[in-house]
Structure 1
Amino acid sequence: MKKSTITKFFDVLSSKIYCCLRPKNTVSKLDFLKFNDGNPINYMSNVWLRCWRQSFVLPLVFMAILLTGYTAEAQSIQGVVPVQTPLLGSGVDGDAFAHTPNGYTNVGDLFDAVHPNGTHGVLDLTTGNLLYPGFTFFLQDPWGGDRQDPTIFTLSNKINDNPSTYTWGAGQNPNKNEIQNAGAHFSYGDPTIQTVVNGVPLVVNGVPVMGDPNDLWVLFAGDRQVTNGSSYIDFEFLQKSLTLTGAVYGAFNPQTGTSPVIGGSGSFESAGTDGGRTIGDILVTIEFVQGGGDANASIRVWTQTSPGVYEYVLHPNSDFLGNIFITQNTSITPVPFDVYGSDPNGTGVGGSYQVNQWAEGAVNLTKVFNAVNNDCFVLSTLFIRTRSSGSSNQSELKDFPGAPIQLKLCRDKTPPVISALPAPTTVECPAVLSFATPTATDNCAVKSLVYVDVTTPGNCAGNYSVTRTWTATDDCGNTAIAAQTINVRDTVAPVITATGTPTNGTLGCNPSADAINAALGTATAMDACGMVTPTFTDSAVTITGCLRSQTRTWNATDACGNAAAPVSRTATWTVDTVAPVITATGTPTNGTLGCSPSESAINAALGTATAMDACGMVTPTFTDSVVTITGCIRSQTRTWNATDACGNAAAPVSRTATWTVDTVAPVITATGTPTNGTLGCNPSADAINAALGTATAMDACGMVTPTFTDSVVTITGCLRSQTRTWNATDACGNAAAPVSRTTTWTVDTVA
């Protein structure tokens, strides 16, 4: 027994004697937290007082506890760790298997060979799989005699050095520093299991110490290659991440919960800001001193010892009564994995540990980290390694069986709180949805606040709802969700726009079917919430005489049943293929005017015309020819033409006016025999008539026949005379100058 333990023994003994003499009501009662902060002797005194009241047997038990030696380094503290997994708690008993040895028949352990699938262990011995992935980690350092170890420290690295200055690579270590297998299992306390220390159920102030579901425990174990010499295995628990750089990893192994490092070299990266760590980080060391005896466990806490200076400070294990266990194997231990090439069964599967070749332990991390009232405590990394000595801060780091294990184990179970979001709202489609942006708070720290939008379709494309769900996650993975829903509705009808050629739909005459269709046109429909294609119907063609009309009406309904106001276009046209008929009239009807008519008479003779058309009024137009002159005869023709609105041309109709232009009188020429008209005596009547003569009339415009009159015979004695006078008037009434011939003769029959 160490000196400190002996001193404490006498302190306890004197305390017990004193307490036995004190009245009952003067004994102070210390709770568990005060015990942790105080002295184990005070704790034993209180327990002694209660036990003195109850029996005289238990003082011997507490003497045994004292003899276990809660010194700065715990030696072989065995017992039952009150954890939820493995089931029934875990025995730190120098035996890796549940239900053994005696005294642990109803306690779990690392392995369970009694029940199928390892019910009361952490490993399924049937399949080799971990029963609690994410909480159990098994590191295996490749070993093969003289082969290179892929993960050793390559420089003179110390425990107090900044981890970011550590370097690593392949190499070999002295066999006393060689570690092949190490593991850790994390579990919370089980309130149905009582803590047992060295075979004695732990009681504080008369109250059994049960597992606390808020306490995070770690069960750990590690081995050494040889049992002679001193070996030191560190289990470093860091609140911030520590990772390797330059490592080549093998495939993730579900049977170990890790990815093995198979090559590479490099350094370490630490997120710790206090000299590469975080104040309060814990270093638990298993110490095999001088190759034999009980394994020790020491606990160091990362502490700022002066401004800017940090180091691991050793804490007495008496600070952690009931919260730390440690022991080594006391008998040959077969295990289901390789142990430095040992093969006790000759099967190539499994190995066997010699006595004192491995150690196991447990630490209540919540209590050791003093995180009972720190809901924001996070355990980020576990780093397992060996070093050259235990007590010296100058001891060199040697071997590590694998990359630092990333844990992210949290005490915080309180989810974040997301600020209130608006109640569901309804907006008209289309809409730019405007969601509120909440804030998130957490009792520790919010890591992220993200959202996911989920659209729920409605009965049509324009009716739907979008729910934005916000998820706030804190640094420990606790989540809170809050959602806001916006309902989108389509209640506005489309708007139809129709166009055609020509714009007014009036086509003219005799259009083609394509032209009519173009005039009826096409239409588009605009809808705020989606594409809508209008449909149309054409009315029957309406016939009014030669006029035709047809109407095309479009309708459109969007996907949500909103009907647009109908839009129509009407095409109108004329069907006319028959030419007009011209009728011309004039005065006189035959157009023959006579002589020297006036202009108005000529125009009246040329006449007027009308045109008859089945499809509408048509006014004929005329052209007059130039006046044709043929001697005194004049003629002029007026020709009418008419074309209806559809371009049908009437047969031309003409009228011709004829007239005479004559203002010169005829000239009469009379002749007779004899020329002078003197007949002589007693001419005959014929001779008289011949003498009176005949006459002709010459007229420039036509034949004129003169007429004559004979005067009575003038008798003067025997002389006789008679005058014949001719007159002639042409067709235009121009009278010729009268022309006469007088004949003279003698009537003398008397001798």
Structure 2
Amino acid sequence: MLFLLSGINLNAQAGIPCIDGNSEEWQGLAVTGAPSFELRHDVFTGNADDIFTGGKDFKSWGQVSPTPDYSNWTYSPMQAKSDIMNAAAVIYTGITGAPICNATPPFNSYDDTHTYLFFAGDRESNNGTGYIGFWFLLNGSGSVDEGKDKYFTPDHFTNFGEQIPGEPAGTLYDADSSIGDLLVLADFTGGGRNAAITVLKWVGPGNGDKGNNNSLVEVGTDSQVGQNNDGPTAVPSNFIVPAGQIEYDTNEFYEGVIDITDVFDLQNNPDIICGASWMLETRSSAEITADSKDFVGGSFNLPPIVDVSDASVCVGGSASLTATVTRIINGENVVIANPEIEGYTFDWSGPGGFTANTATITFDPAQLSDDGVYTVMVTSPTGCPPADGDQSGTLTVNDLPTVTADNEELACTDTMIQLTGSPLGGTWSGNHVSGAGVFDATGLTPGDYTVTYTYTDGNGCTNSAEATVKVNIAPDLTVSCPDDVSVDCTDDISGDFTAWLGGFSSNGGAGTVTETYNVNGVDTPLNQIIAPTDICNGVVITIIYTASDECEQEEQCSSSFTLEADTEAPTASVPASETVDCGNIPLPDPSVVLDEADNCGTPSVEHISDSEDPGACGGSITRTYRVTDSCGHFIDVQQTINVNPAPKAEFDPAPAEE
């Protein structure tokens, strides 16, 4: 099936050029929007115009100068009547209906199965008859500038002398059956709008019957070339002409068409013209031996220009490979924004039997198995593959880095810890952790806290690992000591001491809490700390209480228990006085001290001394008793014993001696 060169089926009245010398269609969308359209501008001032030198249409191409048998070119001014300013060409198939002008048969109606080549050009001046030639070059031939060597390459195409496929061996293409470059010669010397047309096919030197070297044969394909002989025609807006020029004078613009279907057997060889180019030339005369003058060459942009992007992605990410298609428009590469909509097809192949048919292939999420080279064949709306063949792009799928994060525990009194992850150079995230990995547990309750370590490698691939920070911070260890206590012998020393000793305590801490009692500088087990009893001298017991836990927390406090020394003497009243008869003085009796007392207990009473005054009888005795407490404090009390005087002796008279 013949491919669609226009990209859409076109009615001949929808802007297809009508060969009448009117330039209007060459700026319309039906022409400029066709995939095969190309407009080339040529230098027409100064010495920079590219022109033939020693050029003749029957000569071969592909050799550098000086080569008499080959056409070459150079930069030089060109006389105005032969100076091309613009040249354009476009190929269509699928045209239906009749053109809007009164065209000459067979171009008064189009066959939608045929392929038509339209071309147009102008010249700077109509001073003199115009002779033009239009080459249809199957090899994609064009001009090459290598400094002093300026030539055309590759050589003209022909399959003359080659084996005809499907025919018996030795059945070769001859001048009639072969395919070769076409040359359309237009001669306007006869006057009128339409030129006399000669269509020649290149068959190679010695294989034909035209030209000095018999390199061409004439073919009878339908063609037509017309010029604006009826008067001026507007310069298309996309053509470049001298400043101020807005129209072409009579016979300065020309256009042509050639039906190339049968001459190339395009129904059976649709790809024969995929790599074709074209060249519009001016000539010195209508003869086949005429000198070639100015030229402008272009292409039909039939083979797509394809570039496939590479992509690098990490496992689990998204990546795409895109086959970007460009067209050459006016000598510049223009990217096709929506190639699928415009009729380009895509045939991808890749690892694991991968296939796809879109301009962009996407891998989401990308896997390691997707890694590899992906090849695409792009076919243009004209059915042509890329001139450079299949194009490939590489998808590199990088594995994610192996990332680890170490679990940690915060115990005892630690509130901060530096977390570690591998490889080095990542960042931490989560609650209570800095990007550098410092975990701050200040104020946190015991429990497990999850944080994340994220690392990005040199390929831009990122992976993460979680770590658990176990917060088991010891409760603060606190100690409590009782207030200082002071007692004396009047108090419940033992009870008060026991209560005081019970006031030493600790709270919190981790694990086993060890308590130490330092009693007046000596560590003493609790069960060996006893209440003081020395009420006479007094005792001060100072305990430094220390509590420590398994997290090396240590706290201490101190308190003192003071047993005040007894400094008070006992008390007692003076015993009652007694009066006794002389000779009946009582013995000392401590019980006469009736109310001895002491703040620290019951004192003892003992007789100390007696004193007489003035004598035993008829006087008094001062009897001293000493009241002593347990600490040796004493007082003396004195009892007065009054002694009656002795009675006078009475003597009975002695009886008289008898």
Same fold? TM cut 0.5: no
Where on the TM-score scale, by shorter chain, does this alignment land: which range? 0.3 to 0.5
Higher relative contact order (CA 8 A, sep 6+): 2
In terms of fraction of residues, the more helix-rich structure is: 1
Question: Which structure has the larger Rg?
Answer: 1
Using structure 2 for the length normalisation, give the TM-score: 0.44
